Structure 1
Amino acid sequence: MSDVLAPKSLTDLKEAIKQHYSKLSKRLRQVAEFVLDAPSEVAFGTVATLSKDAGVHPSTWVRFANAFGFSGFSEMQKLFQQDLMEEAPSYQDRIRLAREAFGEENTEQSPSQLLTRFSHANAIALGHLGETTAAEDLDKAIQILSQAHAAHIVGVRRAFVVASYFAYALRHIDQKAYLVDGVGGMYKEQASALDKNDVLIAVSFHPYAEETQSVAKAAAEKNVPLIVITDNQISPLASIATVCFVVKEAEIDSFRSLSSSLCLAQALSIGLAYELEKKNA
């Protein structure tokens, strides 16, 4: 990545990170993931603090900045500060404010306290989903779904909940929907049923299950449209997606919710129902 021109905006930097992520070293990838997940912390954090939070040596931040054409960390940090001044409060900022308001440092773990924490964290995550999901991406996804002969949906382990709901919702609006569930270990065989006139919906969160990746790659090789729901712009599925939705879920004591992903699945399903109703009117 020599002779790289420094990005002029945070949006450009994020795009550059996505394009070059696979070429970065292990430590630079750690910084890349931190940068994409917590931009507001990068905006005002010191190299020492950020290094501790990201689990890397301070010099790694300088090397990361240099890799993307900046003279040093301070020059790169200005992009984050500028973006923060122009945009609404970030997801991380809202979480921090919520912790202060609800006293989450309190050791109280009664069911009532847990419910309050989970419900408020999910409310913040759902608000973030509505504010950051691009209308053009929603429209594009619904157009793809409306033109597809059949929808195939894949998601394993935690993501299976979202995938199975998607299949359920699409069937209830009389759409052909097939859950790629790998019964008997037959993911490859189920993926072979994909046709270029179909659509694959892939739901995958870190650490990004190999089963989902293999089905998604099989779809991409057949030029099957791919709608992805994931948790990071550098998810391995993002680069091959026709439409990619990056969803930030609420997290309490390392327990991650699925409320936002399910809300998105519901919005797409009902949005498709409205679109089909207009076409058939």
Structure 2
Amino acid sequence: MRQTTGNILVVAALVLAGIVILSYLSSTDAELSRYNNGWNGTTSFYDQLERSGSTAITSYPDLRRAPPDTLILVEPHDLHSDEDKDSIRQFVRNGGTLIVIAKNELANSILETAGSTIRIQDSALSSMDMEYDDPGMVIAYKAQEHNLLEDVESIALNQPSTLTGGEALLETSSISWIDINNNGIADGAEKLGKETVMAHEIIDKGEIIVLADSGILINSMDFTVSERDNTQLRTNIVTSSTPSYDTVTSQPFMAEGILQAVTGAKSTTVIKILAILLITGIICAAYARKIL
């Protein structure tokens, strides 16, 4: 009986240690990470996608074998393989909808590959038409009707970039500007005017839609802009033709939870956790021996 009790204690301690380690290593604080539950992560957005029945695209050639209606990419990086480039190109030309949500110009390579003329301009867009007295929290308004903008009149952006090319879907008011010197006011050569932040373009049988602000997807934006139609826009994106989401080059999947944590294993927090678990294991083992 004593031996059984001791064994149970040891096993329980090891299971607890494993749960703690796995829980810690499967989380991250990386910006936009799908595995970041914090304010700047995107767990809420991807959870919503998965609840709606969306599936992950883990290989671009899959777009040829079983093409989804819509593919969502968030801050995608460059494509290196000719096969990947051709898969993206054919996906759009054959009738697929490519939604790119990014403020970084790195995403322009995907747009070019797909045959789009839309380009992201990595700029400090500011506006006097803003939320929370922050010129970077720019308000954008519907420029024309589109299925993604159903029941959407305005949204609040989070440090967005601007777009050129295509047809505008969302644009700022005329009291907006590119804040070249980042001083929060329109001065010098900085001119007031409307700027496009969401655009679309028809390519053969398909469509490309670009939103120049991945910041609207972070967890904290779920509740900070309830006066605007951000929630409705996100719902429209998630439910549009049962979309799939990219995990190949999109930033939220660049370093998955465990891999991310392993690369940072030198942090003092990890060391402290491991030390505590080691001490706990030793104590449990010693206690088990005593009662054997």
The TM-score normalised by the length of structure 1 is 0.27
Which structure has the highest strand share of the two? 2
Which structure has the highest helix share of the two? 1
Query: Which one has a bigger Cα radius of gyration?
Result: 2
